Amino acid sequence: MAQALWRLCTQLHQRTNPARRSIAALCPVCAALLLMAACSTAGGLLPPPSARSDAVELRVGAVVETATGNVISMDELTGRLSDVSVVYVGEKHTSAEDHKIQLEVLQKLSQGGRCVELAMEMFPAKAQPVLDRYVRGGISQEDFLKEVAWEEVWGFPYSLYRNLIDRQKEKRMPVIGLNAPNNIVKKIAHNGLGSLTPDERSQVAREFHLDDSANRNRIRKEYTVHEKDGIKDFESFFEAQLAWEETMAQTLADHLEKTDAKCKIVVAIGKGHISGRLGVPYLTSMRRPHKYSTVAPVPIDFPLSTLDPNLADYVVITDKSEQFHRPRLGVIIQPAASGRGVEILTILPDTPAAAVHLRKGDIILSIDDSPVESVEEVQQALAEGGPEHEVLIERDRKKITVTVTIGQ
């Protein structure tokens, strides 16, 4: 019964709405029937029925094909992805489990020496020369993070992404920066796309699909719950949100055109940019038609997510994820020339560092009595304990301790 209900609801879902709403939104009766028919598993997760006659329990590592509800293995998923040009693997930026799945997909698709490139939302396209130099071994990790302004542009702990990038570096395979520059997107949000200078306009997508009703409706829902501080109006917000996705799509499409899709591309990207196939996958395929699939890691304790084809083509069940907070001091730093501590190069405005009057040139020696000598050690120290941290700095040859409060 459960299998028949799943197939019926999926058929209705696919035939009725090209924008691919969730089954629950399309057919409340179907959703209710599925809930009654499905068997609960550990953590409250309700698995979709499988084609097998025996009961199926979802375990960590299982893969659900959302169009059918069938449960497959990671090896089977690798086989099904063999003929697609682009594989989008979504993430919650703070989830270590999500990043493990991205790495596993990258590794499995690369088996046998196959050519697989890694494209990342986390870097603006203009950072490509720095990415190329780092992958070739031309600069150190510290210089790399400094030149791409990781703390300012992205800010999440680099340790979450290091294994992905290091694997490409080890294999001498490209890492592709996809995104638009933060400052330009912020300007669009404040004053609209028309406010950009010719140079700024050249750093975002050439074409914006402003008349696409599905994307407009999707982003309008985001606008209703988004903070409006500094945002001019919905149109500016819509243009700014599209600037991220259109630019990523343009970068991907141009790369596919340039390379004739000779290498498969794995895209590390936020889940919101691939849900419903209305974000980056949709916009990229409009520019250059190609085969692609979407994959979304989902923790075992996240209920009902596997029942929604709107989430991704394939859902990978992960363990309960330890979420990393985003502790940001608000500084750009480099290892101090003396070898002790890290030197502050820039203080970002409206940050904890600015609030306690840290200065350019200050040397951070320790945080909560733990010596720090790198960006990662600073981030790790701030991620531990509560919101308040004792920061020992050296300024004008004098040691000063300040108490910094980091919002979680």
Rounded CA-CA distance 196/211 in Å is: 20
Given a cut of 90, whether residue 172 has pLDDT beyond it is: yes
Given a cut of 60, whether residue 40 has pLDDT beyond it is: no
What is the average per-residue pLDDT within 247-271?
95
- Kindly report the pTM of this predicted structure: 0.70
Coarse DSSP helix, strand, coil percentages of the chain, rounded to the nearest 5 percent: 45, 20, 35
The CATH number of 75-318, from 3.40.50.80, 3.40.50.11550, 3.40.50.300, 2.60.120.680, is 3.40.50.11550
| C-beta separation of 307 from 10 below 8 A | no
Q: pLDDT for 52-93, tens place per residue? A: 333 446 788 899 998 888 999 999 999 999 999 999 999 999
| C-beta separation of 2 from 301 below 8 A | no
- How do the domains of the chain map onto residue ranges? 75-318, 331-405
User: Is 307 or 138 the better-scoring residue by pLDDT?
Assistant: 138
What is the average per-residue pLDDT within 219-239?
78
Q: On the CB side of 283, how many CA atoms lie within 13 Å of its CA? A: 30
Cα-based torsion angle of the residue sequence 137, 138, 141, 146 in order, rounded to the nearest 10 degrees: -150
Residue 200: count other Cβ atoms within 10 Å of its Cβ: 16
The residue type found at 80 is: R
Q: pLDDT for 309-338, tens place per residue? A: 788 999 999 987 665 555 678 888 888 888
Name the pLDDT band for 275 (thresholds 50, 70, 90): confident
**Taking the mean position of all CA atoms in its chain, how far away is CA 355?**
29
Given a cut of 90, whether residue 9 has pLDDT beyond it is: no
Given a cut of 70, whether residue 296 has pLDDT beyond it is: yes
Q: Which helix (H) or strand (E) holds 334?
A: strand 331-335
Position 306 scores a pLDDT of 58
Rounded CA-CA distance 362/395 in Å is: 5
Rounded CA-CA distance 120/29 in Å is: 39
Position 39 scores a pLDDT of 30
- Residue among 323, 316, 395 at smallest CA distance from 357: 395
Using a 10 angstrom Cβ sphere, with 0-12 exposed, 13-18 middle and 19 or more buried, the burial of residue 29 is: exposed
Rounded CA-CA distance 121/93 in Å is: 11
Position 367 scores a pLDDT of 92
- Tokens at residue 306, please? 């596997």
What is the average per-residue pLDDT within 363-373?
92
- Tokens at residue 214, please? 């599905």
DSSP annotation of 358 reads: -
Rounded CA-CA distance 199/244 in Å is: 17
- The topology (CATH level 3) of 331-405 is Pdz3 Domain (2.30.42)
What is the average per-residue pLDDT within 339-350?
86
Given a cut of 70, whether residue 408 has pLDDT beyond it is: no
Given a cut of 80, whether residue 42 has pLDDT beyond it is: no
| C-beta separation of 275 from 312 below 8 A | yes
Q: Is the dihedral of CA 396, 398, 402, 406 positive or negative?
A: positive
